[in-house]
Amino acid sequence: MKRLSEMKISGGQKRYIGLLLGLTFLGILLLSIGGENSSESPPPITTTETKTLTADEKLAQILSQVEGAGQVEVEISYKLTEEKSYATNQKLRREESDGVLSEEREETIAFYNNGQGSESALVLAQKEPEIAGILIVAEGANDSEIKRQLAEAAAVLYDIPLYKVSVLKMKGGELP
């Protein structure tokens, strides 16, 4: 087997190898420079904690209006947080040099003026988090009819199957 130093490389091959090395170096350079521009990165993913508290409180308020339910506490658990898909601007540049075709693709997040003097990332689609289950703790849950009504109401409101809803009796929940 020949050593690299013993191999003969023709002029065309030298240009091709030089071009490949140059493109590799340029790619590494662009990646390192591109990572420094923080204005083009998507905004941090927001948690759904605020929405969760609002949904929990709202459902508890609604269910406490059921006759005989008494005080109600609700916990809604989610499988995933919300997902957002952002619009992007894409630039594609193709060059041919000495019979070698090279492509450079650049993709950046698209921003828009939100009317408040700042820019926001343009959201194409937003998927709300999927509900894993609902736990309802109610004073009146010792009555099986109240328990059924609370479970069915939560299942209907959130369009989830009944088996994903659990209703438990609140500690000291004996109603006269």
The rounded distance, in Å, linking the Cα atoms of 19 and 24 is 8
List, for residues 92-122, the tens digit of each pLDDT value: 888 888 878 888 888 888 888 877 778 888 7
Confidence label for 175 from pLDDT (cuts 50, 70 and 90): very low
Residues 6+ apart with CB under 8 A from 175: 68, 70, 139, 140, 142
Sorted by sequence, the CB contacts under 8 Å of residue 56 that are 6+ apart come out as 74, 75, 76
pLDDT in tens, 70-87: 999 999 998 877 788 888
Specify which of 47-56, 72-81, 127-136, 160-169 reaches the highest per-range mean pLDDT: 160-169
**pLDDT tens sequence across 149-161:** 999 999 999 999 9
138, pLDDT greater than 60: yes
Q: Which CATH class is domain 42-82+128-176?
A: alpha beta
Calculate mean pLDDT across residues 139-148.
93
| Domain chopping of the chain, boundaries | 7-36, 42-82+128-176, 83-127
Q: pTM (2 decimals)? A: 0.51
